[in-house]
Each structure stands twice: as structure tokens, then as C-alpha cells.
Amino acid sequence: MGVSKVLISEVGPRDGLQNCGSVMPFQEKMRWIRALASAGLREIEVGSFVSPKVLPQMADTADVVVEARKIDGLEIAVLVPNLKGAELAVKAGAAKITLPLSVSETHSLRNIRQTHDQVIAQAVAIVAMLKDLPVGQRPYFEGSLSTAFGCTIEGPIPERQILRLAERLLDAGCDEIGLSDTTGYGDPHSVRHLIRAVRGVIGDDKVTGVHLHNTRGLGLANALAAYDEGISTFDSSLGGLGGCPTAPGASGNIVTEDLVFMFESMGIDTGVDLDALIACREILAGAMPEEELYGFVPRAGLPLGFKGAPVPVAVE
């Protein structure tokens, strides 16, 4: 069964912004990230070390990491597509790096122009690089299985292929394997099933986080299913920023506000102040006025008498 406390990993500055048509200026990004951290978010994926030609929205990622590290108690996560990106992440001082391995090889080639073997080779090279670092400078290294619940190009991916890739990433030396519903194809049954299957192969402690989308409205139901399996880290983005370029009007990421509300309503501590979190939407809307912001709780307001999860008492 589920844990009493979950970690909400805000991915808006990365997964959200990289899907936006315009580029958020550095100072706006930092203002937004600081507000998110002030609302109680303890992990934020602040950017991606990819070519600025491909994703100009991410061009200032190194500067963002350096600046965001000054925020007390915040874990800085970044995405990297290869060894070069990982080196830049280490240089900037990121605490967590995620390498995406799309279980659909077609999607992997379109997304980061690498075959499965090439991504695994990058993972091996990244681990070798990380091993030479002093322990204090070594970021946590996650391999993330993208399109794990189906691909918009290939459709469903055979489970044996997914399990084999999870094993290969772990063998390469990743600290943990994440499961990503990149396409919003997952459902509560497939989420539960795949978590159990991957854990069965690589161990329960190697699968603690999921990256779920809300493209078909099942985001929170899928998060609940994952929570019931004991998953403790959930990716989401403020206002569901990110969308899905191929599905106008359908949000991409799970809306952080609604996700926090669900857990807090259930008495599960997120550490997030919902009112402060909802107030962050104004900063985002001001900086990116053309983006549609999603979320039910910000519109409906909190229930009368809503208290959220009890705040844990610090033990001295």
C-alpha cells in the first residue's frame, strides 16, 4: 500500500517549457522556479541539456541550474540525452540527471536520434564519467523508460522489450529506472501491471517514480494506481504546462495543483502549500500569456473546511 508522504517533482520548467512556442526569459524562469520552491516543492526539473538549436527554450539550462542551486533545500533535476549533456549537468551542479530511453525505438530515433543500443552506450559512458567524481559531486542518475505505456507511432510495445531495456539500463549502472507515459496511453490497470512487472525484474527499490501525462484525462487515476503500488515520486507541471502538440485542447502533463490536492485530500503529505502553489499560476500566466493553463482545483477552489494532510511534526 501507499506511503504517508510523496515527492512531487515539478517538471514545468523542462517538460512544460520545451513544448511552448515561445522562450521564457531567464529572469522569469527564475522568478517562477523560486515561487514554486517557496510553495513547498522540493524537486524541480529545471531544464534539459540538449542542443539550443533544437530546443531554444532550454538554451539557458546551465545558468538556471547554477542559480536554482542557491535555493535552500531544493533538489535540482535536469534531463540529458547523452554523455555531453551529463557532463554539462555535472559542471552546472545538478543533483539529479535523467536519461530518457524510449522503449519505442522509432520514437527514440525521432526524439533524440539514437537507437536503443546507442542510448544504452550513453548510459554506460555517463556512469563511467560519474564514477570518477567525488561522491559529493555525483548526481543521482535515473534512466527513464519513455513511451512505456504505448507509442503514438508504434502503438503498444511488447512487455518483454520494456523489461529487457529496464534491465539493460540498470546493468549500465543507473541508480533507478523511471516509467514514463509520454503519450498519455496508460490506464490504471496497465500502470499497476507495468510497475509490478518491472519491479519483479529489477527490484522494488529500483522503481520509485513515475512520469504520467493527462492527455486522455486519466492522469490522476493513473497516479492513484501508481501510489497504491507504493510509488512515491510523481512528476507533474504547474497548470499542466506542456500540452501535447498533436492533441490541441488536451493537456500533456498532470496538473501539479490537482495532483497535490488529491494527495493532500487523502491525508498524504506533499509538503506543498496549495494556496501558494495556485498563486504561482499568475507568474506563469504573466510570463507565457499565450499558453493555456489547465487545472480544476484552481478554478473550483478548495472545499469548505479543507485542511489538507497534517503537517508532520519534526522530531528533534
Instruction: Specify the residue, 61 or 256, whose C-beta has the smaller distance to a second copy.
Output: 256
Check if the beta carbon of residue 47 is closer than 8 Å to that of residue 61.
Answer: yes
Site for a second copy in 267-286 (CB under 8 A): 267
Q: Which burial class, exposed, middle or buried, applies to 29 when counting CB atoms under 10 A from its CB (0-12, 13-18, 19+)? A: buried
* Binding piece for a second copy, criterion CB under 8 A, among 111-119, 125-133, 170-178, 214-222: 214-222
Helix (H, G, I), strand (E, B) or coil at 18: helix
Please give the grid coordinates belonging to residue 11.
517538471
Please give the grid coordinates belonging to residue 261.
490536492
Q: Which is nearest to 131 in space by CA: 83, 202, 61?
A: 83
Looking at 79, 224, 260, 280, which residue binds a second copy (CB under 8 A)? 224
Binding mask 228-267 for a second copy (x = CB under 8 A): ----------------x--xxxxx---x--x--xx--xxx
Please give the Cα distance from 109 to 116 (Å, whole number): 9
Looking at 54, 128, 133, 300, which residue binds a second copy (CB under 8 A)? 300
Instruction: Specify the residue, 134 or 248, whose C-beta has the smaller distance to a second copy.
Output: 248
For residue 152, the surrounding DSSP H or E stretch is none
Least Cβ distance, residue 187 to a second copy (angstroms): 3
Looking at 20, 23, 59, 221, which residue binds a second copy (CB under 8 A)? 221
Least Cβ distance, residue 190 to a second copy (angstroms): 7
Give the CA distances from residue 77 to residues 38, 47, 98, 307, in Å, rounded to whole numbers and listed in that order: 17, 8, 8, 30
Please give the Cα distance from 26 to 28 (Å, whole number): 5
Please give the Cα distance from 17 to 37 (Å, whole number): 17
> Is there binding between residue 305 and a second copy (CB under 8 A)?
yes
> Is there binding between residue 196 and a second copy (CB under 8 A)?
no
Least Cβ distance, residue 304 to a second copy (angstroms): 4
Q: Which residues are catalytic?
A: 244
> Is there binding between residue 304 and a second copy (CB under 8 A)?
yes
Looking at 13, 81, 85, 150, which residue binds a second copy (CB under 8 A)? 150
Q: What number of residues does the chain have?
A: 316
Instruction: Specify the residue, 66 or 250, whose C-beta has the smaller distance to a second copy.
Output: 250
Please give the Cα distance from 300 to 238 (Å, whole number): 16
Which residues make up the interface to a second copy (CB under 8 A)? Answer: 150-156, 183-185, 187-190, 214-218, 220-221, 223-225, 244, 247-251, 255, 258, 261-262, 265-267, 295-297, 299-301, 303-305
